Structure 1
Amino acid sequence: MLSDHQQNMCFASLLGLAVALAGWQGHRAAAPEQALTGLTGGSYQRQYESTFADALPSRGWSVEAYAALRLALFKEVAEGAVLGRDGWIFTAEEFETPALAEDPVPLLRQARAELAALGVQLVPVILPDKARVHADRLPYRRSAALQNRYAAALDLLRAEGFAALDTRSAMQAHGFLRGDTHWQPEAARAVAEALAQQLGAKPAEDAFVTQSNGQDPFRGDLMVFAETGRFADWVALPLDRITRYETLDKAADATDAMALFADTRVPVALIGTSYSAKADFHFEGFLKSALGQDVLNLAQIGKGPFAPMRDYLTSPELHGSPPDIVIWEIPERYILLQGG
C-alpha cells in the first residue's frame, strides 16, 4: 500500500503529465510553427498558461487541475496574492502600491479642522500590514521603502500634532489570519485596549461585557486565490479557525424602560475599513468594552480608509449629533508617503 507521501507524489505526477500534455497540445494548436523555438526562447511558458485550459475537455476541470498543480509543485497561488511559508497567503497589495493609496496629510488636516469646529477629537490609528507582523512567513523580503513605511507613517502623525499609537506590539501576539487580509479578533482586542489606555479611558465596571461564543472554521478572503476545486482532497490550504465574540451592554439592560427618553447621542464614532466594519473581527465590540462607551460604527467595506472619512465629514450622523471622539482606523498599506 502506498504511503500518503507516495500517493501525493503519484497524484502530482499524473496531474502534471495530463496538464502538460494538454498545454503542449494547446500551444501547438495556437502556434505550431513556434512550438520548438518557444521551448528554448521562453514563450512556451506564457502560451502554456494562456492556452492549456481550452485544450482540455472541461475548462472547469482544467482550471482546477492547473491551480492544484501550481499549488502542489510550485507553491504558487493565483495572481493577486502571494503564497508565503507554511501556507500563509498575502495580498499582492502588500508588495506594491494599492490603487486606493494616497497621501493622508491633506485629509488628516481637513478632518481635524472640521471635527474640531464641532468640538470633536480626531484619533487616527494606523494598523501595520500583515507582511510586517508576519515577516517571518514571507517568501522574500520587501523593498526598503515598504519596510520603513509604518515607522514613517507614525512620524508623519507626530509631525501633524497627533498622538501616534504604535500598534505593532499590540498586534504581535495574535496578528492576522493565515488565509485572510484581516487581523485576528484577539489582535483587534489588543489594539482597542492599547487605544483606551492612550486615551486614559476609565470604563465603569461591566458597562460593556465582551464574551466568547466558541470557535468556527473561517474561510478567509485570500483563500479564493488558492482554490483547487475537485482536487481539494489532495491539494488545499488549511482553513483558519476564528473565535466568535459578543459584546453586551449591561447598562442598557437595566434602563430599557427609559430608552425613549434617553439621550441618543453616541460618544464615539468609528471610521475605517473592513477591519472595523466586519463583525467577524469584533473591533467595535472590543472598543465598547475597553472605552466603556457606546460606539457608532460607520466603517465601510471595499473603499479604503479615506472615502469613509470624506463621507462622514458631510454626514447627518456627524452634524446632527457630534460625538466626543472619532477613531479613524487606517491600514498602513493605503498610506502613500511623499517620495514613496
Structure 2
Amino acid sequence: MTRSLRVFYIALFLVTLMVLGLWSVRSFFGFSTNNEATVLNGRWSKAVETHYDDEFPIKRLGTNLWAALDFKLFNEGRPGVVLGRDQWLYSDEEFNPIVNEELNLQGNYALVEGVRQTLKARGVELVMAIVPAKVRLYPEHLAEVKPASIHADLYQDFHQRVAAERIPAPDLLGPLQQAKNAGQQVFLRTDTHWTPEGAQIAAEQLARTIAEKTPLSGQPQQFVTQASENVSHKGDLRLFLPLDPLFENLMPATEPLQKRTTVAAEQPAEGEDALFANSEVPVALVGTSYSANPNWNFVGALKQALNSDVLSYAEDGHGPILPMLSYLKSDDFKNSPPQVLIWEFPERYLPVNNEIGDADPQWVAELKQAGARQQNVALNIRKSEMPDRAQN
C-alpha cells in the first residue's frame, strides 16, 4: 500500500468518525434529565452515556440490520414476540414453558382465594374477569410455533378452580369467539390486547354476572359511549421488531383503532345528594393494561354496562397481582371499600411467579396460607361427598 493510499484511508476513517460523532451529538438537542440526576452523584453522566449509546448511529444500523436478517431469513423477532402468518404477532408469554409452573399455579390459586377472604371480611364481593389468551382466540394465524402444554387447558382450569371457591367469573372466551365468528375483531393484530369491541363484550358479560350474582344497590347512573378519534395504532408487539427506521417497510402494517369515550348521561346536581352519591363506591376495578390503557375503554364499557360508576386501580406493566396487593393496602380500600371488586386477570399470568413489588413478603405468604387452608377444606368436603353421591 502506497503512502498516499494510507493517508487516504486514515483521512476517510477520521471523517467517518467525525460524521458519526456529529450525528450522535445532534441527538442531544432537547435532551434533559430529572432533577435528581446531578454531576456529583454520577447520575447525570450515566444518563448521558445511556442516551448516547441508544442514539449511536452504528448501533442503530447494526440493530436494524440484524433484526431484518432474523425477520426475513428465520421469521423471528426479539424475545417477547412470536411471529404468525398474515402479519399477526403474539406475546411469547402465551407460548413459553414456565419454570416451576406447578408451584406457581398452586401459589397463585391460593393467593386468589386469600384475596377473596380479605375482601369478604370487608363485605366486598370479588368477581373475576379471566381474560383468555390471544392465541386461544386466533390460533389460525400461527405458523410452526405452538404454545407449551401448560397453556393448553389453563383457561378452563382457572374457571374450574374459581368456581370451586365460589368466585363469580363469567366465561369471556365464548362470547368473544362468537363475536369473532360474526366478523368482529376482538384482539388487535399487532398488539397483546383486545380491541375496544372485545373490551365491550367482556364488560357486558361481567355486568350480566354481577346483576345475577350480586346486584348493586343504589340508584342506577346512565353512561353514554361515543366514538372519538380514529388513529393508526402501532401495536406494542411491534417493539420487539427493531426494524425502523431503516427497514420500516418490512414491519407489520399499523392497524386502525377507533377510540371511544364514555361520559355520564346526566351530570349529578350540586348539593348534598351529589356529595353523598360521590362518597359511595359501588364498583372498583383492579387489573392490568387490559383495564388501565384508555385505548380499549374497558372502564368506560363497564360503566355503561353496569349503569354505575367504576373506580379503576388497574396498572400498566405490573401484571394482575401487584395492583391487587397495592389496592388492599391502600387508604381507599380501608376507608371506602366497594360493593363489588372486579379483578381482571389474564390467564397467561397464572403459572408465572408474579412480582409483588414493595408488598410485605410475610403478608403475601399469609394470604397464600389462608387461601391454601380454605382450598384444603373445600377439597376434603368434596371428597366426603363423593361416596354419598355414588350411593345415590
TM-score, length-scaled by structure 1: 0.76
Q: Which amino acid aligns with 1:161?
A: R
Deviation at residue 63 of structure 1 after TM alignment:
1.9
Alignment partner, residue 59 of structure 1: 59
The separation in 1 between residues aligned to 2:67 and 2:256, in whole angstroms, is 24
Q: Which moved more, 1:290-299 or 1:315-324?
A: 315-324
Q: Which amino acid aligns with 1:156?
A: R
Alignment partner, residue 151 of structure 2: 146
Q: Where do residues 88-103 of structure 1 align in structure 2 (5 Å cutoff)?
A: 88-96=88-96, 102=105, 103=107
The separation in 2 between residues aligned to 1:231 and 1:137, in whole angstroms, is 27
Q: Could you tell me which of 169, 194, 207 is aligned with 1:196? A: 207
Q: Which amino acid aligns with 2:125?
A: Q
Structure 1 residues 142, 268: CA separation in 2 closer, same or farther (over 3 Å shift)? same
Q: Which moved more, 1:234-243 or 1:90-99?
A: 90-99
The separation in 1 between residues aligned to 2:277 and 2:220, in whole angstroms, is 21
Mapped pair 1:126 → 2:137: no
Q: Which amino acid aligns with 1:152?
A: D
Give the root-mean-square deviation of aligned CA atoms.
2.4
The separation in 2 between residues aligned to 1:285 and 1:303, in whole angstroms, is 21
- CA contact 1:196–1:291 (8 Å) conserved in 2: yes
Alignment partner, residue 115 of structure 2: 111
Mapped pair 1:207 → 2:218: no
Deviation at residue 90 of structure 1 after TM alignment:
1.2
Q: Which moved more, 1:134-143 or 1:279-288?
A: 134-143
String of CA shifts for 1:166-212, please: whole Å, max 9, x gaps.
11122232321111111111100000001111222789887011111
Deviation at residue 232 of structure 1 after TM alignment:
3.2
The separation in 2 between residues aligned to 1:256 and 1:70, in whole angstroms, is 61
Alignment partner, residue 45 of structure 1: none
- CA contact 1:267–1:293 (8 Å) conserved in 2: yes
- CA contact 2:61–2:246 (8 Å) conserved in 1: no
SS of residue matched to 1:87: coil
Which structure has the bigger radius of gyration? 2
- CA contact 1:226–1:237 (8 Å) conserved in 2: no
Deviation at residue 81 of structure 1 after TM alignment:
1.2
Deviation at residue 238 of structure 1 after TM alignment:
0.4
Mapped pair 1:325 → 2:329: no
The separation in 1 between residues aligned to 2:277 and 2:62, in whole angstroms, is 61
The separation in 2 between residues aligned to 1:256 and 1:143, in whole angstroms, is 56
Q: Where do residues 281-296 of structure 1 align in structure 2 (5 Å cutoff)?
A: 281-296=296-311
Q: Which amino acid aligns with 1:223?
A: R
Deviation at residue 156 of structure 1 after TM alignment:
0.9
Mapped pair 1:185 → 2:196: yes
The separation in 2 between residues aligned to 1:310 and 1:146, in whole angstroms, is 25
Mapped pair 1:160 → 2:174: no
Q: Which amino acid aligns with 1:87?
A: Q
Deviation at residue 125 of structure 1 after TM alignment:
1.4
Deviation at residue 260 of structure 1 after TM alignment:
4.5
Alignment partner, residue 349 of structure 2: 334
Deviation at residue 87 of structure 1 after TM alignment:
1.0
Structure 1 residues 233, 322: CA separation in 2 closer, same or farther (over 3 Å shift)? closer
Mapped pair 1:255 → 2:269: yes
- CA contact 1:68–1:231 (8 Å) conserved in 2: no
Q: Give the count of matched residue pairs.
A: 280
Alignment partner, residue 234 of structure 2: 219
The separation in 1 between residues aligned to 2:189 and 2:159, in whole angstroms, is 26
Alignment partner, residue 72 of structure 2: 72
String of CA shifts for 1:40-99, please: whole Å, max 9, x gaps.
xxxxxxxxxxxxxxxxx9332122122223323332212221111111111111112568
SS of residue matched to 2:63: helix
Q: Which amino acid aligns with 1:94?
A: E
SS of residue matched to 1:229: coil
Mapped pair 1:273 → 2:288: yes
Q: Percent identity?
A: 36
Q: Which amino acid aligns with 1:255?
A: A
Deviation at residue 290 of structure 1 after TM alignment:
0.2
For structure 2, list consecutive stretches of 5 or more residues without a partner in the other structure: 1-56, 353-392
Deviation at residue 151 of structure 1 after TM alignment:
0.8
Alignment partner, residue 46 of structure 2: none
SS of residue matched to 1:310: helix
- CA contact 1:98–1:333 (8 Å) conserved in 2: no
The separation in 1 between residues aligned to 2:135 and 2:321, in whole angstroms, is 22
Deviation at residue 262 of structure 1 after TM alignment:
4.3
